[in-house]
């Protein structure tokens, strides 16, 4: 059975290849193309590797590309710094233990509870592990099985109304950021279960997921139409915990 991470590695290569035109990489258009993007042999040529070797990589075969090969592919496919880092992460070998939900240390839990602005802690699967009263006041209470930021934004109808016209950009950006995390955990039962729920609960998610976009986590501004508080504007920022880098603290500062 193929390694799910290698499958994601190949799928990512294909998705980037299909977004490039010969002109964008300095190649002649040549004969008529049945599909969009570069041909496999063109990517192999640009990266300086064999066509058969590249095909094996894109097919998700169990092969281990060297750092030099990954860097060459990143240059050939015009990957951004974030996309390049993602490709390197997928190329790494090594056994991986099954996903286990993180535990928030008491000092961190007490710290967020003391904050006046909305704040919460998420783990690698984007589950909400701890939050404060201000966050509950804005986002409301959720059943334990739904305490996940992706489920909240993508499958909750009230949240969609909450973000109004800005929902599409917020949701699409979250999918691209989560994709970078998911691919490293591809095949893990916990991530597979979450992916199934997202596919079943959001038609938009299915479309965005297939695009295989990758983004890094970034601060930003969110506008929300709260049912009782009216229009709310927040700057959101995230931080990793030294106790456990898998834990991410997210703080919403009112604007």
CA–CA distances in Å: residue 125 to residues 50, 129, 148, 234, 243 = 37, 10, 8, 23, 18
Q: Is the pLDDT of residue 251 over 70?
A: yes
Q: What percent of the chain has pLDDT over 70?
A: 95
The segment with the largest mean pLDDT, out of 16-25, 61-70, 190-199, 208-217, is 190-199
pLDDT on residue 234: 94
In this structure, are residues 11 and 60 in contact, taking their beta carbons and an 8 Å threshold?
Answer: yes
Q: Is the pLDDT of residue 59 over 60?
A: yes
pLDDT on residue 61: 82
Q: Is the pLDDT of residue 196 over 80?
A: yes
Q: Is the pLDDT of residue 1 over 60?
A: no
Q: What percent of the chain has pLDDT over 90?
A: 73
Q: What is the mean pLDDT of residues 50-68?
A: 89
Q: What is the mean pLDDT of residues 178-206?
A: 95
pLDDT band at 88 (very low <50, low <70, confident <90, very high): very high
Q: What is the mean pLDDT of residues 45-50?
A: 93
Distance (Å, rounded) from C-alpha 255 to C-alpha 31? 55
User: Can you give 47-85 as a three-state secondary structure string?
Assistant: HCCCHHHHHHHHCCCCCCCCHHHHHHHHHHCCCCHHHHH
pLDDT on residue 3: 82
pTM for this entry: 0.90
Chain centroid, CA 79 distance in Å: 16
At 76, give phi and psi (nearest 5°): -65, -40
Distance (Å, rounded) from C-alpha 26 to C-alpha 38? 11
CB atoms under 10 Å from CB of 95, counted, come to 4
pLDDT on residue 95: 66
pLDDT on residue 30: 67
List of domains in the chain:
4-91 (1.10.260.40), 106-254 (3.30.450.180)
Mean pLDDT of the chain: 91
Q: What is the C-alpha R_g of the chain?
A: 21
Say which residue the tokens 């509870």 belong to: 113
Pairing of strands 248-254, 119-122: antiparallel
Distance (Å, rounded) from C-alpha 54 to C-alpha 44? 6
Distance (Å, rounded) from C-alpha 226 to C-alpha 161? 9
In this structure, are residues 210 and 202 in contact, taking their beta carbons and an 8 Å threshold?
Answer: no
pLDDT on residue 94: 62
From the list 229, 248, 228, the residue with the least C-alpha distance to 239 is 248
Query: Please, how many CA atoms are within 13 Å of residue 223, restricted to the half-sphere of its CB?
Result: 6
143-184: pLDDT as tens digits: 889 999 999 999 998 889 899 889 999 999 999 999 999 999
Say which residue the tokens 């058969």 belong to: 52
CA–CA distances in Å: residue 186 to residues 24, 40, 183, 218 = 31, 24, 5, 23
102-125: pLDDT as tens digits: 999 999 999 999 999 999 999 999
Q: What is the mean pLDDT of residues 199-213?
A: 95
CA–CA distances in Å: residue 50 to residues 20, 40, 164, 221 = 20, 10, 49, 46
């Amino acid at each position: 059975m193929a390694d799910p991470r290698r499958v994601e590695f190949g799928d990512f290569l294909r998705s980037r290849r299909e977004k490039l035109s010969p002109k964008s990489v300095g190649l002649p258009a040549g004969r008529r193309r049945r599909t969009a993007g570069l041909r496999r042999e063109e990517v192999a040529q640009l990266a300086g590797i064999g066509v058969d070797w590249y095909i094996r990589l894109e097919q998700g075969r169990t092969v281990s590309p060297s750092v030099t090969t990954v860097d060459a592919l990143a240059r050939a496919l015009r990957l951004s710094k974030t996309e390049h880092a993602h490709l390197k992460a997928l190329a790494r070998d090594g056994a991986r233990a099954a996903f286990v939900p993180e535990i928030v240390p008491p000092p961190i839990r007490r710290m967020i509870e003391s904050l006046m602005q909305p704040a919460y802690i998420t783990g690698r699967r984007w589950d909400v592990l701890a939050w404060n009263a201000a966050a509950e006041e804005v986002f409301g209470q959720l059943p334990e099985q739904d305490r996940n930021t992706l489920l909240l934004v993508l499958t909750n109808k009230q949240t969609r109304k909450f973000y109004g016209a800005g929902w599409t950009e917020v949701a699409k950006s979250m999918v691209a950021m989560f994709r970078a995390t998911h691919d490293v955990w591809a095949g893990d039962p916990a991530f597979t279960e979450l992916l199934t729920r997202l596919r079943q609960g959001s038609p938009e998610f299915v479309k965005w997921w297939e695009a295989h976009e990758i983004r890094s986590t970034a601060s930003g501004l969110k506008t929300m139409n709260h049912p009782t508080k009216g229009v709310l504007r927040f700057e959101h920022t995230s931080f990793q915990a030294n106790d456990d880098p898998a834990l991410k603290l997210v703080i919403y500062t009112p604007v």
